[in-house]
A and B are shown apart, each in its own frame.
Chain A
Amino acid sequence: MEFTHETLVAFSKTFGLFYLIALSIGVLIYAYRPKNKERFERAATSIFGNEDRPCR
């Protein structure tokens, strides 16, 4: 296939949109999936701990 200006523009205008929607849905599912809830809550509090030394 030849990459003319028109084909590239058409690709940008179509694929770009689908890519945006797919990515948004993927990220939302990942972040708000009930299964992941506990992990993220743990992660959010993980920073509070012994500050002075590595390891727990």
Chain B
Amino acid sequence: MFGAHYKLERNAIGLVLMIIGVASIGGLVEIAPLFTIDETVEEAPDMRVYTPLELAGRNIYIREGCYACHSQMIRTLRDEVERYGPYSLAVESQYDHPMLWGSKRTGPDLARLGNKYSDDWHVAHLLDPRSVVPGSVMPAYAWLARTELDTDDMSAHLSAQRAVGVPYDEDMIAEAAADAIGQARPDSDGAEGVIDRYGDDTAIRNFDGAPGKPTEMDALVAYLQILGRLTDVAHAGASENVESAESGS
């Protein structure tokens, strides 16, 4: 047996196979059970998917690297639950491709930001953070309000989302561009369709408060206002299993 081992070590290909074997088994053993985890993830029958406008806003959130400073994952610690709201459940990010849990809080957690502030507050904050939060170190995102939202390929975006497992139906995909505009323009013909496809609770508002075509500001604010509100499941029995930080248990 050790003769074989000796040869193996001399042989570069053997070394390669050993490295692959030793290194990948750890990953496999640890990750494989996670792919059957939907068996253990909470049920959330009321959960809806992102509307095209919210998805576009989410893509802006990704593009601007907001996740570098804001987490979207409230841990099961007492102080976090009291500061931010019920701790995050796995099911809440089941449609998040990719997830935006984050790893750093230069700014506060955003997992339960939706409906915490008004649209106007968000717009003012994104235009000039220090006008509403003195001492903030967040950069201004004023150009979002000047940039028209590109909705041309929204259908392709929803198709790609469906390809990775998000349950968008044919109708949603076909009407994606119209829905993106309709959600930000309550008076327009498109607004009705958004309600039909995404539910009565969907917010149909002129998010940026400005007339004219929807902007990137509309999309981003629409996304920020839906954070933590795709399902109510986290609010039921939320205070169980919370660990107190001081006791450290």
Q: Is B25 an interface residue (CB 8 A)?
A: yes
- Produce 1/0 per residue, A1-40, CB < 8 A to B: 0011100110110011001000100000110010110000
The interface residues of chain A lying within 8 Å CB-to-CB of B30 are 12
The answer to whether A4 and B32 have CB atoms under 8 Å apart is: no
Stretch from B34-42, B61-69, B135-143 that touches the partner: B34-42
Cβ-closest chain A residue relative to B30: A12
The answer to whether B22 and A12 have CB atoms under 8 Å apart is: no
Q: Say yes or no: A8-B32 contact (C-beta < 8 A), given A19-B25, A23-B22.
A: yes
**A23–B22 alpha-carbon span in the complex (Å):** 9
The interface residues of chain A lying within 8 Å CB-to-CB of B36 are 3-5, 8
Q: Is B5 an interface residue (CB 8 A)?
A: yes
The answer to whether A33 and B2 have CB atoms under 8 Å apart is: yes
Q: How many residues of A contact B (CB 8 A)?
A: 16
**A33–B137 alpha-carbon span in the complex (Å):** 59
**A35–B3 alpha-carbon span in the complex (Å):** 11
Interface of B is mostly: helix
The interface residues of chain A lying within 8 Å CB-to-CB of B39 are 4-5
**A36–B9 alpha-carbon span in the complex (Å):** 12
Cβ-closest chain B residue relative to A20: B26
Q: How many residues of B contact A (CB 8 A)?
A: 14
**How far in angstroms is the closest Cβ of chain B from A47?**
17
The interface residues of chain A lying within 8 Å CB-to-CB of B212 are none
**A49–B224 alpha-carbon span in the complex (Å):** 64
**How far in angstroms is the closest Cβ of chain B from A38?**
13
**A36–B32 alpha-carbon span in the complex (Å):** 37
Pick from A3, A15, A33, A35: contact of B29, CB under 8 Å: A15
**How far in angstroms is the closest Cβ of chain B from A36?**
8
The answer to whether A8 and B33 have CB atoms under 8 Å apart is: yes
The answer to whether B22 and A9 have CB atoms under 8 Å apart is: no
**How far in angstroms is the closest Cβ of chain B from A30?**
6
**A16–B26 alpha-carbon span in the complex (Å):** 8
**A30–B40 alpha-carbon span in the complex (Å):** 42
Q: Say yes or no: A11-B29 contact (C-beta < 8 A), given A4-B39, A5-B39.
A: yes
- Produce 1/0 per residue, B5-37, CB < 8 A to A: 110010000000000001001000110110011
Of residues 125 through 145 on chain B, the ones whose CB sits less than 8 Å from some CB of chain A are none
The interface residues of chain A lying within 8 Å CB-to-CB of B37 are 5
The interface residues of chain A lying within 8 Å CB-to-CB of B5 are 30
Closest 5 pairs (CB-CB, A-B): A8-B33, A5-B36, A5-B39, A12-B29, A9-B33
Q: Known A-B contacts: A8-B33, A15-B29. Give 17 more (CB < 8 A).
A: A4-B36, A4-B39, A5-B33, A5-B37, A5-B39, A5-B40, A8-B36, A11-B29, A12-B30, A12-B32, A16-B29, A19-B25, A19-B29, A23-B22, A30-B5, A33-B2, A35-B2
